[in-house]
Amino acid sequence: MKRFKYLTIIFLSVLLISCGSNSGHKKSDFSIKTNAVKGNISNNETLQLSLKNKKNHTIDSVSYRLNGIKINAASTLENFKLGKQTIEATVYFDDEKQTTTSTITILNSEIPKVYTYKIINEYPHDITSYTQGLEFHNDTLYESTGQLKESKLRKLDYKTGKVIKELKLADEYFGEGLTILNNKVYQLTWQKGTGFVYDVNTFEKLSSFRYGNSKEGWGLSNYNNTIYKSDGTEKIWLLNSETLVEQEYIQVYTNKGKIIGINEMEWIDGKIYANRYQKDGVAIINPKNGAVIGVVDFKPLKKLVKQHEGLDVLNGIAYNPKTKTIFVTGKRWNKLFEVEIVEK
């Protein structure tokens, strides 16, 4: 028993020494105080900052940064991105400098508008397609489908549902979203951390790319040579279209909090329209700050398609520049709907 106690003391001592050696930087003598209530603040408010001076140092000056951007001790937030952001204070005193950080969550000031829809047309859709990505190019519909051993890249005549061209993915890949830019198709896979690039006409595979900090592939869209990528969280990543490097991200938030499950996306009239996984609806997102400015309830559409055992959720949204209309479908739906979105 004594030997056991002795070994326990040695073990705890080693653990404490180990923890101490990893403590790293000296703790700051300062901390940041804000007017954020429980860490939350709206983007129509003024952020008020001050310091808690734990050791009563004589401070020479303080500089603040929010998400890397220099701000004043009182700053408006209307031009900042939503979501969790880092405040950094650099304090100069007695020929010394210390840095301390804190976080706040910036919420949108407005409640999302609620929209519904009118059906303009219905078209046939392959009931076996587990739709993951949908996009028009030259009045032709391109679709990416999922499930292991079933994933495909397809070119379709949307009016008839006829498959014009098809490429089957290797069995280990679960296909996800797609987008088309500069005559190239970009397609994601789910959990393999890999995306593919194809020639838009021939489906010849031109290259592949690895994800960065986004762990999974969900949806894609593009605008002005920037590719937008969702990963199933509240984050939408902005990729350089040449290098496919994740350069930054926005976080999708309402006036209440974050919205997760951002899935298939489409850029429409300066906004990102995004399916929310398992919600049978679409969020309309401001791509500059991540604010959800509207929601579209598509739940009734599911009752208009063939009811069968494999029927799954709404997923797939595409804008046709020729008709200037929006098309939506779902996983293993037998219909593609052309719709007009209207405010309730």
DSSP, residue by residue, 195-224: EEEEETTT--EEEEEE-SS--S---EEEET
**pLDDT confidence of 37, banded at 50, 70, 90?**
very high
Contact 284, 294 (CB under 8 A): yes
Place of tokens 């290259």: 207
Give the residue from 273, 343, 338 showing the smallest Cα distance to 119. 338
In sequence order, the 6+-apart residues with CB closer than 8 A to the CB of 96 are none
Mean pLDDT of all residues belonging to the chain: 92
pLDDT at 25: 53
pLDDT at 26: 66
Q: Could you give phi then psi for residue 16, rounded to 5 degrees? A: -65, -40
- pLDDT, tens only, 43-87: 999 999 999 998 999 999 999 999 999 999 999 999 999 999 999
Average pLDDT over residues 248-275: 97
pLDDT at 344: 84
pLDDT at 220: 98
Contact 173, 195 (CB under 8 A): no
Q: Quick check: 20 pLDDT over 50?
A: no
Q: Quick check: 4 pLDDT over 70?
A: no
DSSP helix/strand/coil, 16: helix
- The H or E element spanning position 228 is strand 226-230
Q: Quick check: 101 pLDDT over 80?
A: yes
- pLDDT, tens only, 205-215: 999 999 999 98
Contact 100, 32 (CB under 8 A): yes
Percentage of the chain surpassing pLDDT 90?
88
184-189/194-199 β-pairing: antiparallel
